Amino acid sequence: MDHRLLEIVACPVCTGRLIFNKEKQELICKADRLAYPLRDGIPVLLETEARTLAPDEIAQ
């Protein structure tokens, strides 16, 4: 994930900051507790494609 892209991309639900999880290849929105997948290095920023984070994943 290009860090320059990470600086300008935002959560489509709340427009908040996203955090890159390299291990899971996801962009995390802690405010909405959503994880957006990366497919072939491209963020899929659709709420319908996001998974809900478990409570223990938010603290990380």
pTM: 0.87
- Which CATH number belongs to the domain containing residue 12 in this structure? 2.20.25.10
1 within some domain: no
Mean pLDDT in order along the chain per 10 residues (60 residues): 82 94 93 94 93 82
48 within some domain: yes
Token pair of 47 as six digits? 């709420």
2 within some domain: no
Distance between CA atoms of residues 48 and 8, nearest Å: 21
Provide the residue range defining the domain that includes 54.
7-34+41-59
Backbone dihedral angles phi then psi of residue 15, each to the nearest 5 degrees: 60, 20
pLDDT the model gives residue 6: 80
Provide the domain count of the chain: 1
pLDDT the model gives residue 59: 63
